[in-house]
Amino acid sequence: MMPDDHPRYKSLKEREALIEGYKKGITAEAGLIAHGRGEAFDYLLGEVTTPHAKFAIKAGAAALLLGENPVISVNGNTAALCPDALVELSDATGAKLEINLFYRSDERVKKIEEVLRDKGAKDVLGPGPDKEIEGLSSERRKVTREGIYKSDVVLVPLEDGDRTEALVKMGKKVIAIDLNPLSRTAQTATITIVDNVTRAIPELVKCVNELKKLDKEELLEIQGGFDNEENLKDAVKCIRKL
C-alpha cells in the first residue's frame, strides 16, 4: 500500500498502474521500459506542465476542434495510465478512439477495448483493422478505414517515429504527446506536446472545453500561430536550465 504522503506518490502510482496494466495484459512488457524513459525526461522537466507544453496543448486542442475526422490513437500505456481522460477527450471533441498497438495481438486489443468501454466509451475502433498505412512494416500499420485511415487529425500519445512520419506523409495533422523533445516523433509531428500523458490529456480536455466557445477563424489563428520547431527548442531550453 502506497502512503499518500510519499513525496513521489504520483510517480509511484503511475508505476503501479502500469505494472497492473502489464499483469492484466493491457500494457506491453516494453511499455514499462518506455515509461522509465519518459519518467527521466519528466524529472528533468520538473514534473509539471510547462508553458511550452501549455502552448502546444492549446494548439492541439484547436486542431482537434477544427478536424473533420479527428482520431485519438490508444496504446497499452495510455490505456493503463489515463483511460478516463481518453474517453473524456473523445466525448469533448467528438474524436474517435482507435486502438493501435506496436506489439499488437487480438487479445490485447480486446482487453484495451474493455477498459475503454468500462470508462464509458461507446464506439471503439481497432479490432478487425481493414486498412494499412503505406510504407510502414510494423504492426502499427494496421488501422481502420473509418478511423485513422480517413482521419485528418490524429492524436498520438507515446508513439514511434516511423508511424508519425508515415501519418504526416499521408497529409494528416499529427498531435504527439512525448516527454522526449528529441525523439523522432517529437521532431516529426505537426504539434508536439512535451508533457506526461497523465497531465496532458486532462489538460487537453479542459482546453477543448474552453476553446469550444471560439469561432472557426479564432481557432485557425491559434493553430496557425504555433511553430513546432520553435516550441521544441523551448522544451530543450527548459531542460538545459536545470
Site map (CB under 6 A) of ligand PTJ, residues 184-213, x = contact? ------------xx----------------
| 57 is a contact residue toward ligand PTJ (CB under 6 A) | no
Q: Which is nearer to ligand PTJ, 116 or 219 (CB)?
A: 116
| 37 is a contact residue toward ligand PTJ (CB under 6 A) | yes
- In the range 121-160, which residues lie near ligand PTJ by CB under 6 A? 158, 160
Residues 46 and 39 sit within 8 Å (Cβ to Cβ): no
If one counts every other C-beta atom within 10 angstroms of the C-beta of residue 160, the result is 17
| 75 is a contact residue toward ligand PTJ (CB under 6 A) | yes
| 76 is a contact residue toward ligand PTJ (CB under 6 A) | yes
Q: Considering the complex, what minimum distance in angstroms separates the CB of residue 30 from ligand PTJ? A: 4
Angle at 73 between CA 236 and CA 53, to 5 degrees: 25
How far is 16 from 80, CA to CA, in rounded Å? 10
Q: Considering the complex, what minimum distance in angstroms separates the CB of residue 241 from ligand PTJ? A: 19
| 222 is a contact residue toward ligand PTJ (CB under 6 A) | no
Q: Residue 72: beta bridge partners?
A: 97, 155
Count of residues that interact with ligand PTJ, criterion CB under 6 A: 23
And the C-alpha cell for 182? Answer: 528529441
Q: Which is nearer to ligand PTJ, 93 or 180 (CB)?
A: 180
Selected from 63, 64, 109, 177, the binder of ligand PTJ by CB under 6 A is 177
Instruction: Give residue number: closest CB to ligand PTJ.
Output: 38
Selected from 21, 41, 109, 155, the binder of ligand PTJ by CB under 6 A is 41
Selected range binding ligand PTJ among 54-62, 171-179, 217-225, 230-238, rule: CB under 6 A: 171-179
- In the range 10-29, which residues lie near ligand PTJ by CB under 6 A? 28
Find, among 219, 4, 217, 205, the residue nearest to 88 by Cα: 205
* Cell 481493414, residue located: 130
Binding site for ligand PTJ (CB under 6 A): 28, 30-31, 34-35, 37-38, 41, 75-77, 101-103, 158, 160, 177-180, 183, 196-197
